Structure 1
């Protein structure tokens, strides 16, 4: 079954192949697309306006040049609908679904100039989102059978966070705090300023801070040594992040916390280390590389023009 752009309600939850990826608000997608199109064609696409007849139609296929996990089908469709509201877009693969090289992921039929105008913006976004979903799915597979949850970080492309974090969810991962406004995360620099290395002062400062928070606000603290764990736990925090710990220290840290808080591991996480990190018993593994260093997945848009007999290439000069 295919899903068309016309059937998606604004802000609706988008279906994924293996679970619930949450919502991708239409307003956020529209804002990103308008900004991108303004950047790419501030005064229109003079190439297509010169070469392609105004009434020409085109049918294009979004093809996978390599295997991966799809994310951004709705973004691709929205880009096409933004330049041609009458375009017909069929999404042949669902977000969150794995595909092989050579798979047709979507088709679009519409005004040829409009399809060409949207092409690069649509491809840039769906390629990046699918790369993130694919990389995330790889990490999720590596920790299968453990309780560890793979999450992203705030190391996202400015302006694209809502899309990139949705892509993480499409890959089976979860999201960390969305912004600095969502939760308290006291890191090493915060602790150095507040406590000066005094464990008792650290506990008191954190406990006082927690007392001033709303009861629904999550409180996480990053530590970089075993000696900080007990003073931080004594403050009643919700999550403790063990940053750049060795595997042995991660296991010892999990044992020391003993369920009194959620344990997050961060730092030195890659495809070669993530399984061993998960095996220490941590609850969360946060990976900045899910978003900050992906290489766009190789997807291509193959376009065929349908020009009516007698039409000519080139718009030619216009009066005025």
Structure 2
């Protein structure tokens, strides 16, 4: 993820809040007033978005002194001071909600990811995200998963060939099945990995004949997953997805799949609460 991508997301978020100014802060707060503010975690979890929040403040006050006390990917506990800000109060207040929105959302994703990872501890399986993300926020949301120890699946539609059920349904009208679809996909000029989504053991067998890079077991029962793992060659990676949650992920992992992808990491993660407080402030020249 490039700096320009991050700044574009941040600029869009800031425009929502104060593109036309901050009438309350500008009316009440003297421009000369400087202060020290702290950002405090209100819940236990995993930190993510500290550097993003810092950029929010720095873009609007390059002279602000910002100390990140707990870095992304680290555990935090309720009451921990995660960041200290020293600068113009008017700029701290303008950026407060925008910065906290990033922190709460990204730390929520990281915290949920860590919970999923803890459920498969000791097993040889990776946890991955999906493209089920908030429009415009994908790169940061995937970063939050990564910060907690997860892996990123395709960030966009050009990063790999994923043959889904709707592709196969559309092709079936022309009499093209899984095997033919995989073979056609393997001719892509960029030689990207070819993944096929299946939901029956019959489809698994058809996919194996064409030798894709990976087979995605979608919404399959644990029993069928075990059978699929037994027949899929080691040269083909196996991914499981669909209706996987904290209660059943370990059972899924024990089938022997290589990767488990969970859309809930990004589309259903609850926010992790933070607050910005002013313990000390003073007038400057």
Describe how 1:172-191 pairs up with structure 2 within 5 A.
172-191=149-168
Deviations 1:188-239 (A, max 9, x none): 11112223597x8431232122123422x01100001110012112112101
CA distance in 2, matches of 1:208, 1:166: 33
Q: Which residue of 2 aligns with 1:262?
A: 237
Matched, 1:79 2:21: no
Give runs of aligned pairs for residues 115-134 of structure 1, distance below 5 A: 115-134=92-111
Give the drift of 1:305: 5.9
2:172 and 2:124 mapped to 1: Cα distance?
A: 33
CA contact (8 A) 1:264 1:283 kept: yes
Matched, 1:218 2:193: yes
**Aligned partners of 2:47, 2:247: CA distance in 1, in Å?**
24
Q: What is aligned with 2:120?
A: 143
Partner of 1:283: 258
Output the CA distance in 1 between the equivalents of 2:174 and 2:272.
45
For residue 297 of structure 1, report the CA deviation from its aligned partner.
Answer: 0.3
Alpha-carbon shift at residue 276 of structure 1 (Å):
0.4
SS of the equivalent of 1:90 reads strand
Distance 2:56 2:20 in 1: 17
Matches of 1:162 and 1:148, distance apart in 2: 23
- Alpha-carbon distance in 2 for matches of 1:262, 1:299: 40
Q: Secondary structure in 2 aligned to 1:234?
A: helix
> What secondary structure, in the 3-state scheme, does the structure 2 residue paired with 1:285 have?
strand
C-alpha contact (below 8 Å) 1:195/1:205 kept by paired residues = no
Match in the other structure for 1:203 = 179
Decide whether the 8 Å contact of 1:195 with 1:202 is kept in 2: no
Partner Cα separation in structure 2 for residue 143 and residue 196 of structure 1: 41
Q: Is the Cα–Cα contact under 8 Å of residues 161 and 185 in structure 2 kept in the other structure? A: no
Matches within 5 A, 1:141-180: 141-180=118-157
User: Quick one: distance in 2 between partners of 1:99 and 1:295?
Assistant: 16
Separation of aligned partners in 2, 1:299 and 1:250: 40
Equivalent position SS for 1:258: coil
- 8 Å CA contact 1:130–1:167 kept in 2: the answer is yes
Task: Report what 1:114 is aligned to.
Answer: 91
- CA distance in 2 between counterparts of 1:252 and 1:197 reads 30
2:79 to 99, 102, 116: 102
* 2:53 equivalent to 1:56: no
Query: Which segments of 5 or more consecutive residues in structure 1 lack a partner in the other structure?
Result: 1-23, 312-320
TM-score if structure 1 supplies the norm length? 0.86
